[in-house]
Amino acid sequence: MSTTAPVGTGPRPTIVLVGHGMVGQRFLEALAERGLTATHRVVVLCEEPRPAYDRVALTSYFSGKTPEDLSMTDMAFIEKERIELYVGDPAETVDREARKVTARSGQVFEYDILVLATGSYPFVPPVPNKDAEGCFVYRTIEDLLAIEEYAKTKATTGAVVGGGLLGLEAAGALKGLGLNAHIVEFAPRLMPVQVDDGGGAALLRTIEDMGLTVHTGVGTQEIVTDESGAVTGMKLSDGSELATDLVVFSAGVRPRDQLARDCGLTVGERGGITVDEQCRTVNDPHVFAIGECALAADGRVYGLVAPGYEQAETAAATIAADEAAFTGADLSTKLKLLGVDVASFGDAHGATEDCLDVVYSDSRAGLYKKLVIGSDGTLLGGILVGDAEAYGTLKAFTGSVPPVSPESLVLPAGAGEPAQLGPSALPDDAIICSCNNVRKGTIRGAVTEHKCTTVPEVKKCTKAGTTCGSCVKVLGQLVNAELEASGVEVDKGLCGCFGQTRQELYEIVLALRITSYQDLLDRYGREGARGGDGCEICKPAVGSIIASLAPTLGASGYVLDGEQASLQDTNDHFLANLQKNGSYSIVPRIPGGEITPEKLIVIGEVARDFGLYTKITGGQRIDMFGARVEQLPMIWARLVDAGFESGHAYGKALRTVKSCVGQTWCRYGVQDSVRMAIDLELRYRGLRSPHKLKSAVSGCQRECAEAQSKDFGVIATANGWNLYVAGNGGATPRHADLLAQDLSDAELIRLIDRFLMFYIRTADRLERTSTWLERIEGGLDHVRDVVVHDSLGICDELEKLMADHVANYRDEWAETINDPEKLSRFVSFVNAPDTPDPLVSFVPERDQIKPDLPLLSIGTRPLEGTATR
């Protein structure tokens, strides 16, 4: 609605919030929680053309998230609390004597309380031509839109000035846009604030392996431009010149305090609006400052979201006349940079006197873990690079003596004594969620006093786990532990339809030879679920169980037969991977990465004739993107005719078995790794499992196939094969553990058979082998006892289950293209089967195609002077 009358003259006092970022939104929520939105008029002046969004996750835009996905503003909340939100209308002047704020639109707002949450601005070094065409900063969604557009039309190489958090994310974004990406960092290592030299070296190796070029220990002296004023390069402080078409400055931020300076508020020598412990400005009790624009009472400007949230809570409490103080904040951070976990906590650099370091480093795997230990055994801090799984637990013990040895906390799984640090070992004052400053005692209270019984209920009650999400796993452990300690039976059922776990349902299906999801639901579902349709959790899980056991049960192994079709997700439903623009990708199986020239020609001809984008995958296969759903059968008809079969890139099944060239070609090889990889891939192809499976075979200890990062990996020795299990790359890397060594071909295959079927039998839904091994009681020792020594007496059954699978394997696409009924599902519109989807379109890029997706919409901007209520 339009607001024309001066604010502040009515019966309610007025709070004006300048800035609507993450901290500003938290301040509004804190006001509402204390009832202040009912007693005060709240006006928000937002400079950006959209309300608050998750700036921490900004880079996720380049992986497909939209502004709506990133939004942190629930407009229903804004309307319910009667908050007047002015988007695209920032404050331009403040008259503290008259207590008035003038917005860019010319509107004047009188205030009783003014809260400045203006955040920070990117620091751009004062180098010549820093404002040239092709120079950008990396701060807002609009910045990302501009970078994307320029990269698409005018650049092939990009350079990022700054190797901190945002700098690495920006470099990853440039790489994702198809540019050759460089990082220029003045310090001698990447992320110099968060990690030490060892952590920086591990991070550097991993990032360079991703194809990014890193320049450390050099500064930017000048941006080089052409006659039109566009960027063509950078001159560096070591005398070298870097050719680049695009430059992103990400060299840190500075407090955005100009509005405060202009109205006479005190600011720090190096910037930041000076506030006291209540976040009130030191020379005006009616004005508060929170977030990155504030210089806290301890003399620090905090650039993390968690301290900003705490300042927002403090300011709201003070306005409500409650006692509150912000005296400093934990600077611990857990980040995921380009898919690499990086965490630091406490005294990470060992500044404390008489402290000792405990370090585990594996540069080949990109792992670095350091704990700083006091002379009395107190855990003071640490750094984790490549694997930050233990971050939540380690941070909670900071400042105390852990109940286990420090060495056991950093050694990888399977090395040394395991660290048994469950939720019960944490003290009540341990901070579990640093973003929202939630302690273990608060979480326990949510369960015992507020009767919360699930993680979502505890998150809603305490705000724990609602920001970065890194504490959710520990949160779940605490909730279950507290429920069990209180004598409450913890529901471990698969979902609301079944009270049994996935493992229990597997045993029921196997023992009773159940071949129908509906039969299982009607006989063993919860009361009220029987006779129903099930849910999105149990349907694919049960569908996977039935598919993995189909040969033994005498059921159809084809996932689209009868009832099975209704249990599948989109990928399995069309036997292809759905892509971001509604098209599909096709991945034929290429066992071991070995392919004949004739088959290469067929793939090239198919891709050419159907206009597909082609890419060699990390799993030694060729992926073809851009097929419309009605084209899939025609494409596969040609591929099947040439001898190809489904690569199951769409299924929770075996994907690939990579290999090096082994002893056949390589002078270091000691076994025929290609033959073994082909044998394994053909044996386990089509095997449905709780999660995808990846494998590799290396022909020697040089490990070129990276077998130790796979669900099961094989490395040749002079005496046979070593078998490694439960490794994982991706978002949470884990080195595989050695299960057995110097195996013959027959011994190797027998143990893999047993391992895979034991995993399928006992894992939870969507649980990778790496997570399964760490969860299962007894860990690797128990798995070895079962799989190698047959301690449970089930190995004959496991081997038979695998033998049934191998004997009954049929290629899904070969069956599909020969069945008119099955082919009828491959249409975009059921009522117009011959009509292609008009939304599936493409544009050219690098002599191929890419999805024609519009730039992000910036939404509808309210008219000047209009309040969204």
Rounded Cα distance, 294 and 820, in Å: 68
CA 250 to chain centre: 22
**What distance lies between CA 274 and its chain's CA centroid?**
36
What number of CA atoms fall less than 13 Å from residue 664's CA on the CB side?
11
Q: Is 666 annotated as a binding residue?
A: yes
Q: Find, among 502, 549, 557, 564, the residue nearest to 767 by Cα.
A: 502
Among 387, 379, 341, 337, residue whose Cα is nearest residue 357: 379
User: How far apart, in whole angstroms, are the C-alpha atoms of residue 381 and residue 344?
Assistant: 7
- Residues 51, 84: contact at Cβ < 8 Å? no
Backbone CA torsion sign across 428, 433, 436, 442: negative
Q: How is the beta sheet containing 246-249 ordered, strand by strand?
A: 135-137, 246-249, 157-161, 180-185, 213-216
Judge whether 700 is annotated as a binding position: yes
Tally DSSP H helices, then E strands, for the chain: 28, 38
Residues 470, 441: Cα–Cα separation, whole Å = 18
Q: Find out whether 497 is annotated in a ligand binding site.
A: no
Residue that is written with structure tokens 């795997």 in the block: 365
Q: What is the 3-state secondary structure (H, E, C) of 86-145?
A: EECCCEEEEECCCCEEEECCCCEEECCEEEECCCEEECCCCCCCCCCECEEECCCHHHHH
CA distance 308 to 851: 39
Q: Where are the alpha helices (DSSP H) in 112-230?
A: 141-154, 165-176, 197-209
CB 666 within 8 A of CB 660: yes
- Helix, strand, coil: what percent of the chain each, to 5? 35, 20, 45
DSSP state of 326: -
Residue 135 marked as a ligand binder: no
The alpha carbon of residue 418 and the mean position of all alpha carbons in its chain are separated, in whole angstroms, by: 27
Of 193, 280, 48, the residue nearest 858 (C-alpha): 48
Are the beta carbons of 693 and 649 closer than 8 angstroms?
A: no
CA distance 343 to 331: 11
Burial 249-259 (b: 16+ CB within 10 A, else e): bbbbbbbbbeb
Residues 6+ apart with CB under 8 A from 371: 357, 358, 359, 379, 381, 382, 394, 406, 409, 410
Q: How far apart are CA 860 and CA 251, in angstroms?
A: 32
What number of residues does the chain have?
A: 869
Backbone angles phi, psi at 136, to 5 degrees: -140, 165
Contacts 24+ apart (CB under 8 A), 598-604: 598/642, 599/642, 599/643, 599/644, 602/638, 602/639, 602/642, 602/644, 603/639
Tokens 């590799």, residue?
Answer: 696
In which region does residue 11 sit, left (phi positive, over 0), alpha (psi from -120 to 50) or beta (all else)? alpha
Spatial contact of 120 and 21, defined as CB atoms under 8 Å apart: no
Question: CA 254, CA 272: separation in Å to the nearest integer?
Answer: 8
Per residue in 831-867, is it b (16+ CB within 10 Å) or e — as a string?
eeeeeeeeebebeeeeeebbbeeeebeeeeebeeebb
67 half-sphere exposure, CB direction, 13 A CA radius:
17
Binding residues for [4Fe-4S] cluster: 660, 666, 700, 704
Binding residues: 660, 666, 700, 704
Binding residues for siroheme: 704
